Chains A and B, each alone.
Chain A
Amino acid sequence: MAGMTADSPRQVGANEMAGDAFLRVAHLGKSYRRRGSSDGTEVAVLQDVSLEAKAGEFVTVIGPSGCGKSTLLTCIAGLTEVGDGTIEVDGAAVSGPGPDRAVVFQHASLLPWRTIERNVGYGLELRRDLSRGEIRSRVARMLELVGLGEFAGHYPHEISGGMKQRANLARALVVEPKLVLMDEPFGALDAITKETLQDELAALAGRMRRTTVFITHDIEEAVFLGDKVVVMSPLPGRVAAELPVPFPRPRRREVTAEPEFAALVQRLRGLIQTAIPASQSGEER
């Protein structure tokens, strides 16, 4: 990050943040107790992370493995306590999970003893404000939308990894959250399934216009899906750069062939490499 020069993308500071943000994360810090330490030494995982998303905006966050992306997401979800800083959604400070946010986890984490239909309806069921029939019809509509209509009665072990992620997506979207938080939902899928799901998500997101934070470590995915791409540095995670993506949404696969797309991907790759010290680049967890 020391290598940032005048023509590098703007560095985000809270003072820069405009007032119309739907999601506002300001100076977020988080550390974990080091495993097995009794003297209380801590590892800083997130440090002074600030980012924001306007209503309806699709923000992708990219960064190397272990840089704190999932931690950032669970903080926004209210599932992890924050250390420093604040998170605001629609003007209200986040202090725990809320019905306004839903998470698509990195692992599908479907409940194996529930059918796909009942997994997708899980969030609605827990709310206890809808009738069984209403839940069923909402779930049925959502299953159609993600292409799982035929598999409603299957158990998770009976469907493929791609289908599990569709169900994971459906489970979050069916509660109609104002903010959708996705943690590398396609990270474990093969290239072909991944592209199909990206296309479907792009179409879906275009239609639903929900504010979304989408975490990934796939640069092309970040550019293809995002209105803007936030680049995080390795541990402790910081916002290294933020780039707008100029293509209008909804996007189709064809944009990936445009030279501008390739240039953006190239630029991001460079930024990520500057963010990672040479000794660390290419290292997986």
Chain B
Amino acid sequence: MSMQTSEIRERHRARLPVFRPTRWSRTRRVAGPRQELSRPTRIAFGVSGVVLILALWQIAASAGLLDPLVASSPSKIFTAARRLISEDILGPAILSTAKLFGVGFGVSLVSGLAIGAALGWYPRLAAVLDPWVSILYAVPRIALLPIISVWVGIGFEAQVIVVWLVAVFPIVINTQSGISTVDRDHLQVARGFLATDWQVLRTVAIPGATPAIVSGIRQGLMQGLIGVVLAEYFFGNTGIGGLIFSAGTTLETATAFVGAFIFAAAALLFSVALKAIERRLERWRG
């Protein structure tokens, strides 16, 4: 880190109003005016909601109120799932999708954190690259798929690039904004103790940016799931995404729903896991 300390100071002068209260120490987050539910109660309510909708769906389908071709029904979906398992289709499809997601999101996470941190820390770099990030983020990335296939074909590599293109931006943008908005008071404390730029990054900027980074990762995960489906639809028809797509073309609605439910379950799982991580990382927020 070769940035001059005077440069850091300038940057923070420029970005932060002088009498801004610190983000964390002087604002306490409290529950809203309404009573807060305990965790078990919340979960119970959530689960009952799902069960209720499934039951209504089943009843409506059995009573012939819904077109079976369009709406299918929970029992048909369950049967389809069992068939997919017994025919040894579902397991490999999940594995293939998990592998794509794992590699694609892993690459996005590592590169997103690195790029975001670099952009947040070096204002000159950000000045050069910000327009590119904005442009790439604004372009509907589906429009880039044909170009990708021209470059690298339609194999696994191309799929990973699609996932990366979708998942990396929220991570970059949130990390950048978290790192670049260091609390002015904290910076002054660190500088008063002769902190090096590297120490400021490690002890002030990164911990202060944690909430922003975690929220970037959350968005990245969800975008990554979308990216996986996109990649599987467009390149090779593999995995769960491919399963949904081919089921759709042959009007096997129940099979398509099995795939959709698997993505929904994955999204829910990530969300819960991330909440747990968040709680651990931000114990200090109280």
Contact = CB atoms under 8 A, between A and B. Distances in A.
Interface of A: 74, 77, 79, 97-99, 101-103, 105, 107-114, 122-123, 125-127, 155-158, 171, 175
B191 A156 contact: no
A79 B203 CA distance: 19
B285 interface: yes
B140 to A, nearest CB: 38
B24 A79 contact: no
Contacts of B195: 126
B286 A157 contact: yes
The 3 closest A-B pairs by CB, nearest first: A109-B185, A123-B193, A157-B286
Contacts of B28: 157
B22 A113 contact: no
Contacts of B194: 97-99, 126-127
A158 B285 CA distance: 9
Contacts of B203: 111, 122, 125-126
B192 A111 contact: no
A156 B23 CA distance: 13
Contacts of B22: 107, 109
Contacts of B186: 109, 111
B151 interface: no
Contacts of B208: 113
B190 interface: yes
A112 B193 contact: no
Nearest to A115: B284
Given A112-B25, A113-B210, A157-B28, A105 B185 contact: yes
A157 B203 CA distance: 18
A125 B196 CA distance: 12
A112 B191 contact: no
Given A113-B210, A157-B286, A97 B193 contact: yes
Nearest to B189: A109
A103 B204 CA distance: 17
Interface of B: 22, 24-26, 28, 183, 185-186, 188-195, 199, 203-204, 207-208, 210, 283-286
A155 B193 contact: no
19 contacts: A79-B188, A79-B192, A97-B192, A97-B193, A97-B194, A101-B192, A102-B193, A105-B185, A105-B189, A107-B22, A111-B203, A111-B207, A112-B25, A112-B285, A113-B210, A114-B207, A125-B203, A126-B203, A157-B24
Contact of B193 (A74, A113, A114, A122): A122
B92 to A, nearest CB: 44
Nearest to A35: B18
A175 B193 contact: yes
Contacts of A123: 192-193
B280 to A, nearest CB: 12
A77 B193 contact: no
Given A107-B22, A109-B188, A112-B284, 6 more contacts: A103-B192, A105-B185, A105-B188, A112-B24, A112-B25, A127-B194
Contacts of A157: 24-25, 28, 284-286
A122 to B, nearest CB: 7
Contact of A108 (B25, B190, B210): B25
A122 B192 contact: no
